[in-house]
Amino acid sequence: MTRTHHTNEVEQGGLFDQETPLLSEASQAELESCDAAPDGAVLHYAASISYVGTGYHGIAYQAGQRTVIGVLGVAIERALRHHVEIVVAGRTDSGVHALGQVISFSGPAHKGGLDGLYQSLARQLPDDVSVNWLGLSEPSFSARHSARYRHYLYRILPGTERDATTSDRSWQVPYELDLPAMRSASYVLVGEHDFAGFCKKGPDGTSTTRRVYEVRLQSRGRFVDFEIWANAFCHQMVRGIVGSLVEVGKGRSSVSSFARSVLYPPTEKRYLAPPRGLYLVEVGYGDFSGAKDVDPLIFSVGEVPNSVYAVSSCLGRKSRQEQVLNR
């Protein structure tokens, strides 16, 4: 982001509006002793954020569009009174949600330390963006380049009965799906493959080879959840995989044909699931050691990276279910 990205926000109220005290004098003194930096010093921050992507044109900044980084950048710059460049762990498209997106940026100390910055962001951000944790990191830490794996979930609501309350957070497929067939087909994804058949074509020379560590497809109440863990994902890879698996579930495609599309990337038109059912669940910064058997839309599964050595104590927040599902 550059300063010109926020022209409208500056004109509407000033980027550096006066803030009211956030902490008691005792808490302020404690924070200043451990978190504050000398004038002019640069601190390296890392944070985990959640957002409902329905009202955003993706996470990355786009001129003239409402994006997650556009909204978050204004809040951070207002709080720190300083321009920041935000690095994200994984780019998400318009309509895609996140439970544990990780960002990193550098800037001066907030006058209230980490807790002061955390509370300032909490007050400024809209209801569909929230901070899970905020901390200081080692200078070498990068939300994107330090990541070892990413975890995505895609939520499907099968059957003919529609549900308006979840229409923007799941894909409502008006069919009864053959889950055993879909599950059998999904197992071929594990390992290192060229996923060109599932990804949006990028610039010439762009690699579409990725290593998938684990996949799961299971029923959770009315929903069918597909989860996947991989070292990285190419553009629209998860949506392409889910769209093809649903074709298997409908009986329109076979397990063997799905396997061929993984082992021998096809050139024909791919099936693409809509963005509204997709969630970036977590970003891992250590070696992948196996998936947790929990519903990530209810229980938080992300962990603070080892490179983050100080975390705001303001972590008393709503449960994942209240925070994400009931907005």
pLDDT along the chain (327 residues), means of 10: 38 33 37 46 95 95 93 96 96 95 96 95 96 96 97 96 92 96 97 93 85 97 97 96 97 94 82 97 94 87 87 62 40
pLDDT of residue 270: 82
Domain count, the chain: 2
Per-residue CA distances from 303 to 100, 101, 196, 216 (Å): 9, 11, 31, 20
Known catalytic residue at 127? no
Q: What DSSP state is assigned to residue 110?
A: P
Residues 207, 153 share a domain: yes
On whether residue 49 sits in a domain, the answer given is yes
Residues 153, 141 share a domain: no
Q: How far apart are CA 60 and CA 143, in angstroms?
A: 14
Closest to 312 measured CA to CA, from 94, 132, 106, 73: 132
Residues 262, 164 share a domain: yes
pLDDT of residue 315: 63
pLDDT of residue 27: 35
Q: What DSSP state is assigned to residue 163?
A: -
Residues 259, 184 share a domain: yes
Amino acid at 105: F
Residues 162, 138 share a domain: no
Residues 153, 140 share a domain: no
Choose the catalytic residue: 93, 178, 194, 295.
93
Residue 195 in contact with residue 202, Cβ under 8 Å? no
Cα R_g (the chain), whole angstroms? 21
Q: Strand runs (DSSP E) across 195-261, as ranges?
A: 209-220, 223-230
pLDDT of residue 31: 38
pLDDT of residue 39: 59
Residue 73 lies in domain? 23-145+305-312+320-325
Amino acid at 85: E
On whether residue 38 sits in a domain, the answer given is yes
Closest to 312 measured CA to CA, from 38, 42, 47: 47
On whether residue 238 sits in a domain, the answer given is yes
Residues 280, 153 share a domain: yes
Residues 168, 271 share a domain: yes
Q: How far apart are CA 124 and CA 232, in angstroms?
A: 32
On whether residue 15 sits in a domain, the answer given is no
Residues 215, 122 share a domain: no
CATH number of the domain to which 99 belongs: 3.30.70.580
pLDDT of residue 206: 85
pLDDT of residue 6: 40
Residue 261 in contact with residue 244, Cβ under 8 Å? yes
Q: How far apart are CA 81 and CA 65, in angstroms?
A: 23
Residues 164, 102 share a domain: no
Residues 58, 27 share a domain: yes
Residues 6 or more apart whose Cβ sits within 8 Å of residue 169: 52, 54, 97, 155, 276, 277, 325
Q: Which two tokens stand for residue 267?
A: 């050139």
CATH number of the domain to which 161 belongs: 3.30.70.660
Residues 108, 217 share a domain: no
On whether residue 102 sits in a domain, the answer given is yes
On whether residue 241 sits in a domain, the answer given is yes
Q: Which two tokens stand for residue 285?
A: 């910064």
Residue 141 in contact with residue 46, Cβ under 8 Å? yes
Closest to 143 measured CA to CA, from 302, 36, 321: 302
On whether residue 16 sits in a domain, the answer given is no
Q: What DSSP state is assigned to residue 253?
A: S
Burial class of 275 by CB neighbour count within 10 A (0 to 12, 13 to 18, 19+): buried
140-142-147 Cα angle (round to 5): 115
Write down the pTM of the prediction: 0.84
